Amino acid sequence: MIEQMDKAMLALQAGAAGRGLYGPDHPAIVRQLDLAVGLLGELLASSPQLRLVCLDNTLLFENGKLPSSDQLTAALIPKLVSHGIEWMEFQAGVRSADLVALLERLEQPHEPAVPISIPHIRVGVVGKPGMQDPPIISAIAHAGQAEQLQRIWDALRTGAPPDERLGEIVENIRMAVVVGADICKQLALVKTHDEYTFVHTVNVGILSAALGEAIGMGAKQVFELTLAALLHDVGKQEMPQEILNKAGKLDESERRQVELHTVDGAAMLFAQQGVPEVAPIVAYEHHANIDGSGYPRLARHRRPHLASQIVHIADVFDALRTNRPYRAALDEPTVLKILTEGSGKSFDPALVEMFLRRIVKASAA
């Protein structure tokens, strides 16, 4: 597959370079773009989408470097870099006209405020290692997206479907995980108390996506898992802030209100179009333990859904590492001890082992 994608990108570059020399309608240009579309079409026959990642003047596909990446720096890669494009996706049905539209846009000056919107082609940003800001979050936590996420949550409460920008946040997280970002070192930092819900939610999304990827979930499953993780606490909107932020111990009535956020969140999501089936399940189950404890209490001998178990581990890990009104953040050894001791009781042992080995310890290495 990588060789075929390599040929497709060389043909696309030839088309891009030829447009400047011979004009956009020259037969040679048409042939190159038709060749690229034919090669992409063959690949898309076995996959609904094809993603390339552009990092450090290299094009990556299927976790490998395109053999002709050095040649592609002649025209194609610089055009992508100049427009801030770090990943590019071709979808089933892509046509020569779509490639023409892409090249036309790449020939124009970069306008950050004007998104590139082309049928069957998507582009975006995943972030690069070594940036001052955490790379995963650089594409997520700026440009008012904390407020966007809050607006999306508010809209869900009133019965509106999820905003498409939620999908953009999910895709940024998923793509960052796919290209092997150093997960735990790149989690968002809690800068103010008011940002806690957003930052914690994004962190849970990042960790859930990483664990889903680690256990071999497909792209669609990871996307839906990540979206469910971003919505897992949506029911907390129904909870008074004085309870959410209480510094002392909750009384029995307050504890019951806290536990109801799982029911409220599930009810909210079950009613929505455009939300994957797993999202209300995760909202309902993400505090349920595999031994039947936790809340809500599940039917006897029924384990939480796999997605719920993944989000539960991610939720606990990030929450324990964060300062909260009722306690200071715990150090990492203490957090890992809690996860390990909860293995087989609160959490599935295989998931904990994978989380510690592939995500936490890999990041610490």
9 compared with 357, residue with greater pLDDT: 9
The tokens describing 107, both together, are 């020939």
User: Tell me: the pLDDT tens digits for 285-338?
Assistant: 999 999 999 998 887 778 899 999 999 999 999 889 877 766 778 888 999 999
pLDDT the model gives residue 289: 95
The tokens describing 301, both together, are 């001998």
For the domain bounded by 135-364, which CATH number is listed? 1.10.3210.10
Residue from 323, 290, 322 nearest 305 by CA:
290
Q: Is it the case that residue 359 has pLDDT exceeding 90?
A: no
User: Tell me: the pLDDT tens digits for 267-276?
Assistant: 888 877 778 8
Q: Judge whether 238 and 271 are in contact, CB under 8 Å.
A: no
User: Does a cis peptide bond (omega within 30 degrees of 0) precede residue 24?
Assistant: no
Confidence of residue 255 (pLDDT cuts 50, 70, 90): confident
Residue from 304, 266, 300 nearest 287 by CA:
304
Q: What angle do CA 30, 36, 40 make, to 5 degrees?
A: 145
273 CB-near residues (< 8 Å, 6+ apart):
161
User: Tell me: the pLDDT tens digits for 40-66?
Assistant: 999 999 888 888 888 777 888 875 789
pLDDT the model gives residue 195: 53
pLDDT the model gives residue 172: 66
* Cα separations in angstroms, 290 against 45, 165, 183, 212, 220: 40, 33, 26, 18, 25
Q: Is it the case that residue 123 has pLDDT exceeding 60?
A: yes
Domain with CATH 1.10.3210.10 in the chain: 135-364
Confidence of residue 214 (pLDDT cuts 50, 70, 90): confident
What is the spatial distance between Cα 285 and Cα 266, in angstroms, rounded to a whole number?
Answer: 9
State the pTM of this model.
0.60
Q: Is it the case that residue 132 has pLDDT exceeding 50?
A: no
